């Protein structure tokens, strides 16, 4: 019996690591490296270094989106992969890292597990909602965007040492939980990273925070 040969043309699937060559993804991974350092320094109690890592993670997060929008030749698959990578890194950057910061500053007392869970859960819910519905009206976020968590907490941490440890512990706990509540609220906030002026302001803020905390090291 003769078999009929049929040629099926299949699109060759790229390798996993081939996406590392994409500049926006490299920027995303650079932000992840900053966050790994921030987690490490939070656990070891070197909070000034942790703050620097957190703010630079936001800078790289904003940069990858800016570069992705301007870069030519990226396919829809490239964009989809980059979007998924962003979401996974965001949950670590803006959910897990602030939670670890809170736990570390609270000496890993069981009471702080509640606040840490609320922060991580809110981040996960917030990201899932955004992945499902996107921007409200195409221009605004529903709920406080997660990158604000790091930017605000880095500023809040400037009060560390100004007030007593116990007082600042309460401030940090309340700040983290309040941000989590705002993340899953129905408030509408603008997409700050889409405005070139805001990107410039973030650059100035990042350098300023780096200098301030760098002097504390």
User: Could you tell me if 179 and 153 are in contact, meaning their C-beta atoms sit under 8 angstroms apart?
Assistant: yes
Query: 188 — phi, psi (to 5°)?
Result: -105, 125
16 to each of 22, 79, 85, 178, how far by Cα in Å?
12, 14, 12, 38
Q: Please identify which residue in the block is written with the tokens 């991974």.
A: 29
CA distance 146 to 179: 9
Q: Which residues pair with 189 in a beta bridge?
A: 141
Total-model pTM: 0.90
pLDDT in the model for residue 11: 65
CA distance 101 to 98: 5
Question: Average pLDDT by consecutive 10-residue portion of the chain (217 residues)?
Answer: 45 88 94 98 98 97 87 87 94 98 97 98 96 88 95 96 95 98 95 82 96 96
Domain boundary assignment for the chain: 21-214
pLDDT in the model for residue 133: 93
User: Could you tell me if 141 and 130 are in contact, meaning their C-beta atoms sit under 8 angstroms apart?
Assistant: yes
Contacts of 1 (CB under 8 A, 6+ apart): none
Q: Please identify which residue in the block is written with the tokens 């990107």.
A: 199
* 175 token code pair: 């700040």
pLDDT in the model for residue 154: 97
Nearest to 35 by CA among 90, 82, 116: 90
- Counting Cα atoms < 13 Å in the Cβ hemisphere of 204 gives 6
Rounded to the nearest angstrom, the gap between the alpha carbon of residue 109 and the centroid of all alpha carbons in its chain is 25
Class of domain 21-214: mainly alpha
CA distance 144 to 136: 12
């Amino acid at each position: 019996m003769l078999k009929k040969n049929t040629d099926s043309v299949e699109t060759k699937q790229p390798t996993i690591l081939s996406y590392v060559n994409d500049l926006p993804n490299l920027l995303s991974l650079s932000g992840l490296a900053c966050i790994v350092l921030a987690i490490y320094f939070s656990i070891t109690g070197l909070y000034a270094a942790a703050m620097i890592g957190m703010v630079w993670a936001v800078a790289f997060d904003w940069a990858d989106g800016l570069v992705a929008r301007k870069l030519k030749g990226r396919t829809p698959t490239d964009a989809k992969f980059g979007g998924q990578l962003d979401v996974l890194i965001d949950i670590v950057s803006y959910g897990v890292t602030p939670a670890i910061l809170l736990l570390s500053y609270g000496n890993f007392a069981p009471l702080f597990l509640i606040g840490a869970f609320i922060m991580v859960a809110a981040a996960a819910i917030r990201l899932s909602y955004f992945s499902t519905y996107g921007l409200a009206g195409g221009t605004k976020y529903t709920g406080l965007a997660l990158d604000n968590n790091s930017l605000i907490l880095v500023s809040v941490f400037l009060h560390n040492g100004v007030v007593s440890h116990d007082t600042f512990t309460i401030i940090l706990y309340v700040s983290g939980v309040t941000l989590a509540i705002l993340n899953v609220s129905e408030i509408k906030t603008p997409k700050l990273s889409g405005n070139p002026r805001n990107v410039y302001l973030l650059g100035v803020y990042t350098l300023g925070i780096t200098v301030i905390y760098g002097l504390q090291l």
